[in-house]
Amino acid sequence: MTTPALLPLSGRRIPTLPPGASSFPHHRATLRLSEKFILLLILSAFITLCFGAFFFLPDNSKHKRFDLGLEDVLIPHIDPPKEGKHASGQVVIHGQGAHDEHRHREEEESLRDKIRADHERALQEAKEKLRKSREELQAEIQTEKNKVMEDLKKKDAGPKPLPPVPMPKVVGINDGEPVEPGVKEKRDKIREMMKHAWDSYRQYGWGHNELKPLAKKGHSTNIFGNSQLGATIVDALDTLYIMGLHDEFKDGQDWIEQNLDWNVNAEVSVFEVNIRFIGGLLAAYYLSGQEMFKLKAVQLAEKLLPAFNTPTGIPWAMVNLKSGVGRNWGWASAGSSILAEFGTLHMEFVHLTYLTGNPAYYQKVMHIRKLLAKMDRPNGLYPNYLNPRTGRWGQHHTSVGGLGDSFYEYLLKAWLMSDRTDIEARKTYDDAIEAIERHLIRKSNGGLTFIGEWKNGHLERKMGHLACFAGGMFALGADGSPDDKAGHYLQLGAEIAHTCHESYDRTVVKLGPEAFKFDSGLEAVAVRQNEKYYILRPEVIETYWYMWRFTHDPKYRQWGWEAAQAIDKYCRVSGGFSGVKDVYSSNPTYDDVQQSFFLAETLKYLYLLFSSDDLMPFESWVFNTEAHPLPVLHLGNITLPGSEPAQR
């Protein structure tokens, strides 16, 4: 209940006097409004102090408790317990008998004396204020005004500039034009597809998170909360830059600078806004050198930090950008956090610490790594669910597809991004992949290598489209593998790429389903209707690109071109590109969503597939799980704030 104001001036005005009349005939003119205000302020403070002193005086008869389940507070007057024990039979902590009672009486008197002294001091200060002349009061008022103005100026000045840090060497961000005319023609086609997707969004969904290309209007999902944050703009920026679409890049930059505001009452996915927004903004900063992108990324990162305020330090899945309140998805194994979400923060957070000098980001993700290292893992596998309150695994479900995928990807990429100095990350990756090979990877009767899912001690012979990224991951991690197994992992990557191509080739539209089985005579084919859709996903094309870079086998460009043609034929509409609901139908219906990751990942990987290797070289760049390139940090003897010196 709200306490009524002590002096409700707005409702009790002094009656207006007739002209020429004086309310105080024996004194000088009535005080000005500002002087009345300060006198009333002093009087209010005095009354509040007196009221507070009266309220907090101790009760001499019983313990004084607040009804909050707390222990005795303020002046806990204690009746002497019988035989030195409480009624419950427990020994009194602070002593026994008369000695304890005497000590508490002394504490009561001491507190009473302090209250009296504070009371006298407040009275004296009030008297001194009332003795001051009008000029002195005016001077004090002006001083207070000046202080308020200075505070407002500081607030309006915006965030403090970030400390200067050495810009990582940025190479290979332009051109990449292939020598072969046929390949150049394919690359130009991919660029045209990007232009169509962007221009459609620009016309029909500008500022919205995504686009409904058939309805020709904006679209959003619950991962972005209820706010329009321009997810497609941020996600597409680096693709536009790499493709040389600089006018479109400038349009996106201007929108972000003028409209992107994180001070919104929106509950967002920590994982999604990290990989799409922070990753996208950091990539745009490194590519263009525009400080604004870095500042926007840091401002958002600060809004995500409250998500880590859990008993274990494992972050909530969602956080409200305004209030900082976090929670987990209701469907996630009794309120658990998800491995692929809390395990996919490392790359971006390391760069945040590097750019800001704030160790909090690095320490948050390293705490997660250390906590996981201490935990028992069934069969060496990481379950997909971890309870952030108890620090215990949830349901024993392990997947290299959805819910688990990018956790393993970021272990490898943390090592690569550290210029191969993060040995701990590499060792953790190698151990995890060894367990995955032993328990999840199998060959079908038809000779297709697939990655199944482990559920409560049983292997489900089903592979998701999301798991197809692993072919590229195995190839990327081949160099540096233990026991001279580089060739083995490059071959494993090739086998996964082949399996995922088969999942595309065995459909009518030549685009792969969301999930496909290897059971009961079925191989690389979706069975359930709700697994037959294609939503413009990039993972298969991502693996084609990595395999092309490491082998230069022309079949990967051929497979990529097949996918590009299928997307252009079956997913392109006048208002952009849409996913399809059934890849086994010759006339599939549309889902009417142009996903932001289509511009961030699918089209970028296709463009790079038909570019020369000197565009975004692996020696200098590591791509986050949303295909946003972040530079390798060649730190040398520099140590990140909050970290231990790197050991090679």
- Cα 329 from chain centre: 15
The single-letter code of the amino acid at 191 is R
Q: Which of 590, 572, 574, 607 is nearest to 534 (CA)?
A: 590
Give the integer Cα–Cα distance in Å for 597 and 568: 16
Gyration radius from the chain CA atoms:
33
Q: Which residues belong to the active site? A: 514
- Assigned token pair, 342: 């809390």
Q: What is the DSSP letter of 422?
A: B
- Cα 16 from chain centre: 59
Q: Is-contact 586 510, C-beta < 8 A?
A: no
Q: Which of 489, 465, 467, 469 is nearest to 399 (CA)?
A: 467
* Dihedral pair phi/psi, residue 449, rounded to 5°: -80, 130
Strand partners, 267: 320
Give the integer Cα–Cα distance in Å for 190 and 194: 6
Q: Is-contact 438 431, C-beta < 8 A?
A: no
Q: Give ∠ CA 607-610-611 in degrees, rounded to 5.
A: 85
| Neighbouring C-alpha atoms within 13 Å toward the C-beta of 379 | 19
Q: Is-contact 267 313, C-beta < 8 A?
A: no
Give the integer Cα–Cα distance in Å for 342 and 366: 11
Q: What is the DSSP letter of 641?
A: T
The residue whose two tokens read 């970290």 is 643
The separation between the first and the last C-alpha atoms of the chain, rounded to the nearest angstrom, is 62
- Cα 344 from chain centre: 9
Q: Is-contact 494 500, C-beta < 8 A?
A: no
- Assigned token pair, 563: 């996918």
Strand partners, 318: 269, 327
**Helix intervals (H) in 223-290:** 231-242, 246-259, 270-273, 279-288
DSSP for 329-360, please give it: -TTSTTT-EEHHHHTS-HHHHHHHHHHH--TH
Give the integer Cα–Cα distance in Å for 413 and 596: 23
